[in-house]
Amino acid sequence: MTKKASAPSTAETAAKPASGLAHKDAPINAQLTKEQRIDLFRQMVRIRRFEERTLRVYQQGKIGGFLHLYIGQESVAVGTVSLKGQHDHYITAYRDHGHALAVGMSMNECMAELQGKYTGCSKGKGGSMHYFAPDKNFWGGHGIVGGQTPLGAGLAFGLKYKGLKGSCLCFMGDGAVNQGAFAEALNLASLWALPVVFVIENNGYSMGTSLARSSAATPLAKRADGYAMDWEVLNGANIWEVRARTAEAMKRAHESCRPTLLEMDTYRYRGHSMSDPEKYRDKAEVEEYKAKHDPINLLRADLLADGTLDEATATKIDDEAKAEADASAKFADESPFPPPEEIFRDVYWETDNPDKRTSQGRLFFND
């Protein structure tokens, strides 16, 4: 079993973008074309600009309920999803905008979903926390902390049962590790040798409760030892490291049908949700991360330094992302709300397919 707990702070590697970020030379990264490298940057920028735009829409009162932003963590979703093969599947928790855009969902459908519009990815029935795109191997978008972890193991079970060489990447926050379902999922994944990669996106806070106040022992990934599972802690702000180490875990899933628990140190700049006053942390802490650990800035500097990117291209990518996000807000504004009869669609497969109905009797009980 390989296991590795790197130093809790990987600031040293992160702070030296000029000399190239660590793991940049790993084969999985070295093989990328110039355009592929630029595209990693583009996807991260798109997620950032999309979410900044959602923030404005939220402040305009157009988004109901919750909005959990991923800002600061983009390297994790983009890095891991960039490794996706035909039979690699992804599932995450409620902070799901980044993964959704990374797998190829459009800004339009995501923005419209936030506003509860009919053109949204779930026709306005899921909202921010519940994005899904099974055609892109993306299975949500789950609102209950830790509840998606057995599902991720189940997707891996399904792949193995059907004899497909694939994996399921199952994401969660650091708060999820203290849920019972997570412990059960780890045990079963290892016991049954399921091709799943559990990814803890450790942003330091489970809602407003810091890691130190919620988990008795760190690193969190070390819990895998209790289940005879490989584990590793890595710097989630460095997309090269995310790709290199996740690729190893996915290879373990593909080749050996073994699970892995990865803990990626990351940071969210915004509160847990938009209703979070953030009294539990210093502004200075946030500013420190923005200045030294921002995954987009790190990659930008790295690609500028090695000549992959020039300032004009970087600015153009940023401008395009802003324009795309603006257009998505306009698209959402102009989209209709779902008609009232949509309340009763998509409840049962059978009532959505009445010509194939086999049951009889009443399925809805409105007075």
- The contact set with another protein (CB under 8 A) reads 91, 120-126, 130, 132-135, 139-144, 147, 149-159, 161-162, 168, 180-181, 184-185, 187-188, 191, 345-350, 352-353, 358-365, 367
CB of 357 to another protein, least distance (A): 9
What span, in angstroms and rounded, lies between the C-alpha atoms of 148 and 129? 12
- Closest separation between CB of residue 86 and another protein, Å? 13
Nearer to another protein, 56 or 345 (CB): 345
Query: How far apart (Å, rounded) are the C-alpha atoms in residues 44 and 77?
Result: 9
- The SS3 call for residue 322 is helix
Q: Closest CB to another protein among 24 and 160?
A: 160
When the beta carbons of 49 and 99 are compared against another protein, the nearer one is: 99
Nearer to another protein, 210 or 344 (CB): 344
* Interacting residues of 88 by C-beta distance below 8 A, sequence separation 6+: 137, 166, 167, 168, 169, 250
**Nearest-angstrom CA–CA distance, 97 and 130:** 9
- What DSSP letter does each residue of 273-301 carry, written as one string? STT---TTS-HHHHHHHHHHH-HHHHHHH
Q: Cis peptide before 219, with omega less than 30 degrees from 0?
A: yes
254: helix, coil or strand? helix
**CB 15 to another protein: min, Å:** 40
Min dist CB 256 to another protein, Å, is 18
Q: How far is the CB of 97 from another protein (least distance, A)?
A: 15
Which pair of tokens denotes residue 23? 């793991």
Residue (158 or 204) nearer to another protein, CB = 158
For residue 220, how many other CB atoms are within 10 A of its CB?
20
What is the C-alpha separation between 279 and 161, in angstroms, rounded? 48
Indicate the residue among 140 and 173 with the shorter CB distance to another protein: 140
Six-digit token string for 110: 């995501």
Q: Look up residue 136 and give its DSSP letter.
A: G
Nearer to another protein, 33 or 86 (CB): 86
In the complex with another protein, the residue whose CB is nearer, 22 or 129, is 129
What's the CA dihedral at 91, 96, 98, 100 to 10 degrees? 60
Return the closest-CA partner of residue 17 out of 315, 312, 247, 295. Answer: 295
User: Hey, how many other C-beta atoms are within 10 angstroms of the C-beta on 278?
Assistant: 14
Of 154 and 295, nearer to another protein (C-beta) is 154
CB of 192 to another protein, least distance (A): 8
Q: Is 24 left (phi over 0), alpha (psi -120 to 50) or beta?
A: alpha
d(CA 214, CA 8) in angstroms, rounded, equals 17
Peptide bond between residue 124 and the one before it cis (omega within 30 degrees of 0): no
Nearer to another protein, 7 or 144 (CB): 144
Q: How far is the CB of 344 from another protein (least distance, A)?
A: 9
Q: How far is the CB of 108 from another protein (least distance, A)?
A: 15
CA dist., res. 125 & res. 346, Å (int)? 9
